[in-house]
Amino acid sequence: MANSDSSTNPSHVHDDDPSRRDVILIGAGAFAAIGGAAALWPLVDQMNPDASTLSLASTDVDLAPIEEGQAITVMWRGKPIFIRHRTAKEVEEAKEVKLDDLVDPLARNANLPDDAPATDANRAAADKEPWLVMIGICTHLGCIPKGQAIGDYKGEFGGWFCPCHGSQYDTSGRIRKGPAPENLYIPPYAFTSDTKIKIG
């Protein structure tokens, strides 16, 4: 007589295998994902800025030693920052320029809305118009314009001249002649006292 016990029936021997297999597959997949992420982390982490770059996230500058008519260059995030203590004549010349005469009508000032017009008031330091703080990189091909050092040729407009392709900027750092498409950019900065600024 045949045994009717279902435990010996081959079709019921491994009824619970699919659920055990699912647990094993999920566990193996999770282990592989964690291992893959751990292996990739050094590659992702090395793309973060190094400590020396992060330490330059902001730069404090003392303006007291800069006399009227002088300019200095400081570094911020690996970029040259031009700071000029403009003369009254330079300020007046910059104010007299009509917006219609400008190649780029926008201020390019990180401290103002993107659509702010390129008036001298929107380019110079607020309430301290003799001071001009700009990123000293030509907007054409990334050269460093001349005009900071005494004796530098400042171009036809008395500001900065890029010798690579002849871009000329006025005393407010606005492009006036040459292939550069945009004004020199103004970085984020603020006066922390009458004679000190923090860039960044």
CATH code for the domain in which residue 63 is found: 2.102.10.10
- So which residues are the catalytic ones? 165
**Cβ within 8 Å of residue 156, ≥6 positions away:** 168, 176, 177
Q: What is the pLDDT of residue 9?
A: 53
3-state secondary structure of 154: coil
Q: What is the pLDDT of residue 189?
A: 94
Instruction: Answer yes or no: do 28 and 98 share one domain.
Output: no
Instruction: Answer yes or no: do 97 and 28 share one domain.
Output: no
Whether 1 is covered by a domain: the verdict is no
Torsions phi, psi of 40, nearest 5?
A: -80, -20
Give me Rg for the CA atoms of the chain.
32
Instruction: Answer yes or no: do 18 and 64 share one domain.
Output: no
Exposure pattern of 132-142 as b/e (b: 16+ CB <10 Å)? bbbbbbbbbee
Domain count for the chain, please give it.
Answer: 2
The vertex-139 CA angle with 178 and 198, nearest 5°, equals: 135
The CB density around residue 118, as the number of other CB atoms within 10 Å, is 23
Question: Which residues form the domain of 13?
Answer: 6-45
Whether 145 is covered by a domain: the verdict is yes
Instruction: Answer yes or no: do 83 and 169 share one domain.
Output: yes
Instruction: Answer yes or no: do 40 and 71 share one domain.
Output: no
Q: What is the pLDDT of residue 98?
A: 94
Name the stretches of the chain with pLDDT < 70: 1-18, 49-56
Q: What is the pLDDT of residue 8?
A: 53
Instruction: Answer yes or no: do 16 and 92 share one domain.
Output: no
Q: What is the pLDDT of residue 152?
A: 86
Q: What is the pLDDT of residue 74?
A: 94
Q: Model confidence over 61-79: pLDDT tens digits?
A: 999 999 999 999 999 988 9
Whether 109 is covered by a domain: the verdict is yes
Instruction: Answer yes or no: do 13 and 85 share one domain.
Output: no
Give the integer Cα–Cα distance in Å for 2 and 7: 13
Q: What is the pLDDT of residue 30?
A: 86
Instruction: Answer yes or no: do 40 and 57 share one domain.
Output: no
Q: What is the pLDDT of residue 31?
A: 87
Whether 150 is covered by a domain: the verdict is yes
Instruction: Answer yes or no: do 30 and 59 share one domain.
Output: no
Give the integer Cα–Cα distance in Å for 200 and 142: 20
Instruction: Answer yes or no: do 86 and 142 share one domain.
Output: yes
Instruction: Answer yes or no: do 26 and 101 share one domain.
Output: no
Whether 133 is covered by a domain: the verdict is yes
Whether 167 is covered by a domain: the verdict is yes
Whether 129 is covered by a domain: the verdict is yes
Instruction: Answer yes or no: do 108 and 188 share one domain.
Output: yes
Whether 169 is covered by a domain: the verdict is yes
Q: What is the pLDDT of residue 151?
A: 82
**Alpha-carbon dihedral angle through residues 179, 74, 120, 147, given to the nearest 10 degrees:** -50
Hey, what are 27's tokens?
A: 């566990």
